[in-house]
Amino acid sequence: MRAVSSLLLFLALVPACVAQTPVTAQYENLPGVAVYSNGYLLSWDSPQYTQVTLYGRDGKPAFSAPEQIGDSSPVMWAVDSDGLVAGAYTPNRLMEGRIDLLDSFGNVTHTINTGLYIPQQLVFAPDHTIWTGGYNAANRGTQDFNVLHHYARTGEELGQALPWSQISGDFRHPVIGTLLGGQLLYVANDRIGWNAALHPGSRTWIEVSFSGVFLGKYDLKTADGLSLFPVAMTASGNAYAMIFKSHSARFAVLDRSKRVWQKVVGDPSGALIGSEGDNLVFSNLDGARTTLKFVPSGSLRVEEPQQ
């Protein structure tokens, strides 16, 4: 009888566990391109890129915000798993970095002033702290600085990592970069991934541990020379990149042991716009409705070499 009771309890718990990870989600009238992160969706009104809209877990818009505040640089956005939004930008007349924290209604609840360090990318870590990628406004190509900075929500700086001299390539001045409607900085449970421009032409994928240890860098190219652009990083650390001008596979996954990006197949239709845990999130547009499909990353398998 005890065994039967245990089985019934297990069966009762299964639906609750499964429900934590949705199979699909639907959104109406998205304004344009989108990035999925931590259960929330950020969507931009491409190709104008004048504002960004946050969509909640219920699939409905929470608030919209302008892409530029006054004469500032374009805002880079990130959203945490509890709906807190961070926006990093530079008031051009001041040349000082700034991160605004916004609640789910779009109200600024706190501002983090970063001084001469200008954050151009940002992402929330699993512990709700903020990692940023940026540069020192006082740098003239002769002084070293740390690219990554780590902040608490209170504004306290928790640390710095990745000296520019450790990764600098052909550019005299640091090229950190921004990407409207996209993402260049990613985080997993044990590492930070950065899509960096270090040389003319192909970009570079850089990984750093949370403790600041440099883990490696990888050319963003497939073995046969196709250019790549990272679009998702799962909780377990698998990095997926879109293949430009693909002939067979649309995406590749990083094999760190072989130091190569391997083409993968088995993905559904649509654009890969992020991840939820170890699931990949694909977006499909049908008229005014956008459907997101959550696909286990393990279902994408390495492409077999052609005979």
Separation of alpha carbons 249 and 86, rounded Å: 34
Whether pLDDT at 165 is above 50 = yes
pLDDT band at 123 (very low <50, low <70, confident <90, very high): very high
Is the Cβ–Cβ distance between 134 and 90 less than 8 Å?
no
Q: DSSP characters for 257-299?
A: TTTEEEEEE---SSEEEEEETTEEEEEEEETTEEEEEEEEGGG
Instruction: Please give the pLDDT value at position 141.
Output: 59
Query: Could you tell me which CATH number the domain at 28-172 has?
Result: 2.130.10.10
| Strands 271-276, 34-37: pairing kind | parallel
Instruction: Please give the pLDDT value at position 5.
Output: 41
Q: Which two tokens stand for residue 63?
A: 């608030």
Is the Cβ–Cβ distance between 102 and 108 less than 8 Å?
yes
Tens of pLDDT, residues 47-69: 888 899 999 989 999 999 998 87
State the average pLDDT for the chain.
87
Q: Which two tokens stand for residue 209?
A: 């541990």
Instruction: Please give the pLDDT value at position 64.
Output: 94
Q: Which two tokens stand for residue 137?
A: 């406004």
Instruction: Please give the pLDDT value at position 172.
Output: 59
Helix (DSSP H) and strand (DSSP E) numbers for the chain: 2, 25
Whether pLDDT at 12 is above 70 = no
Give pTM, 2 decimals: 0.89
